[in-house]
C-alpha cells in the first residue's frame, strides 16, 4: 500500500473511532483502546479496584467504571493533571500530578478507607441479624436498631478473617499517561517510559497477587528495559497495538498479567506477594 493510501486509511479509521466515540457518548476515542485490551485480556471485572493514571478526558475511566460497577461494587480512582470533561461522578477523580509523592499518598489513604469499608460490608453480609428477644413492638428506634444489628468492635475482630496487608487490594493499574510531546522521538520515548515506570512502581506496591498492569509505551530501547522489569514481576507481559491506535503512531501498550506469579505456577511455590496476603 502506498504512503498516500495509508494516510487515507489512517484518517478514515481515526474518523471512524471519533464518530463511534461520539455516538456512544464516550469522552475520547482512546476508550476503544481499553475496550480492545479488555476484550482480549479480561483485566477488569465487576468489583475490581482500578487506578487509572492519565485519565483525562475520561474515556478509559468511563469504560472501567462501567465494567467494575464503581462505586457500588468496585472502585475506579482516576488521576490526571487535567480535569475529566465532563466529570465522571462514578469515579474518584484526582486532578493531580501522578508523579508527585503527595498524590500517591492520597491514593494510599483512599485505598485504606475503601479496604475498611469493604471489610465492614463483608461482615454485614456474613452476620444474620440477631433474633429479637422480645415479642415487643415492631417499630423500634434507630438507636435500638443499631444496637441489635451492628456488631461491637470486638465482635468485628473475632468474626472477620484477618485483613490483608494494607492496600494490596488493587486489581489493575492502568497507565495511559503521555507527556507533552517535544517532537524529538528519543526524548518523547524516555518521558513516556518514565511516566509508565512511576505507575509500575506504585503498581508493585498495591497490586493484589494475580493483578494486572497496562501501560502506554512508545517503541524503542527504553521500552525494552521497562518490559524486562515487568517480566520479573508478572506471569506474562504482552505488547498490544489496538486497532484504534493510529498505525502511524509509535504508541503501543504493554499488558502485564499475573502480578507476583512469575514462575510460581511451574514450581508450585507461593510468591512473596501471595505469602504477604491477597484479595479479601
Ligand X SMILES: C[S@@+](CC[C@H](N)C(=O)[O-])C[C@H]1O[C@@H](n2cnc3c(N)ncnc32)[C@H](O)[C@@H]1O
Residues near ligand X (CB under 6 A): 27-28, 30-31, 54-60, 79-82, 97-99, 176-179, 195
Grid cell 487490594 is found at 169
Query: CB-wise, 80 or 188, nearer to ligand X?
Result: 80
Min dist CB 166 to ligand X, Å, is: 24
Q: Looking at beta carbons only, is 176 or 188 nearer to ligand X?
A: 176
Question: Quick one: how far is CA 176 from the chain centroid?
Answer: 11
Nearer to ligand X, 29 or 167 (CB): 29
Cα 105 to chain centroid, rounded? 16
**What distance in Å separates the CA atoms of residue 93 and residue 62, rounded to the nearest whole number?**
12
Query: Given the complex with ligand X, which of 172 and 273 has the nearer CB atom?
Result: 172
Supply the residues annotated as catalytic.
216
Q: How far is the CB of 34 from ligand X (least distance, A)?
A: 7
Provide the minimum distance between the beta carbon of 227 and ligand X in the complex, in angstroms, as a whole number. Answer: 20
Min dist. Cβ of residue 200 to ligand X (A): 14
Which long-range contacts (C-beta less than 8 Å, at least 24 apart) are formed by 154-157?
A: 156/120, 156/123
Amino acid at each position: 500500500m502506498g504512503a498516500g493510501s495509508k494516510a487515507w486509511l489512517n484518517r478514515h479509521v481515526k474518523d471512524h473511532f471519533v464518530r463511534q466515540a461520539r455516538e456512544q457518548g464516550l469522552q475520547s476515542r482512546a476508550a476503544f483502546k481499553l475496550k480492545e485490551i479488555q476484550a482480549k485480556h479480561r483485566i477488569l471485572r465487576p468489583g475490581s479496584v482500578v487506578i487509572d493514571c492519565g485519565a483525562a478526558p475520561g474515556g478509559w475511566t468511563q469504560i472501567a467504571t462501567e465494567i467494575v460497577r464503581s462505586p457500588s461494587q468496585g472502585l475506579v480512582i482516576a488521576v490526571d493533571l487535567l480535569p475529566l470533561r465532563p466529570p465522571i461522578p462514578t469515579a474518584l477523580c484526582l486532578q493531580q500530578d501522578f508523579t508527585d509523592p503527595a498524590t500517591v499518598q492520597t491514593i494510599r489513604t483512599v485505598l485504606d478507607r475503601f479496604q475498611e469499608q469493604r471489610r465492614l460490608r463483608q461482615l454485614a453480609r456474613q452476620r444474620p441479624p440477631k433474633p429479637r428477644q422480645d415479642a415487643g413492638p415492631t417499630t423500634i428506634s434507630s438507636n435500638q436498631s443499631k444496637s441489635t444489628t451492628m456488631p461491637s468492635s470486638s465482635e468485628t475482630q473475632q468474626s472477620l478473617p484477618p485483613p490483608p496487608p494494607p492496600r494490596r487490594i488493587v486489581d489493575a493499574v492502568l497507565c495511559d499517561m503521555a507527556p507533552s510531546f517535544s517532537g524529538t522521538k528519543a526524548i518523547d520515548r524516555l518521558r513516556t517510559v518514565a511516566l509508565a515506570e512511576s505507575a509500575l512502581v506504585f503498581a508493585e506496591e498495591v497490586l493484589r497477587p494475580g493483578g494486572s498492569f497496562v501501560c502506554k509505551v512508545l517503541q524503542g530501547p527504553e521500552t525494552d528495559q521497562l518490559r524486562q522489569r515487568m517480566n520479573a514481576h508478572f506471569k506474562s507481559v504482552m505488547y498490544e497495538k489496538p486497532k484504534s491506535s493510529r498505525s502511524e503512531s509509535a504508541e503501543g501498550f504493554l499488558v502485564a498479567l499475573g502480578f507476583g506469579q512469575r514462575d510460581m505456577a511451574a514450581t508450585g511455590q507461593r510468591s512473596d506477594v501471595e505469602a504477604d496476603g491477597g484479595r479479601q
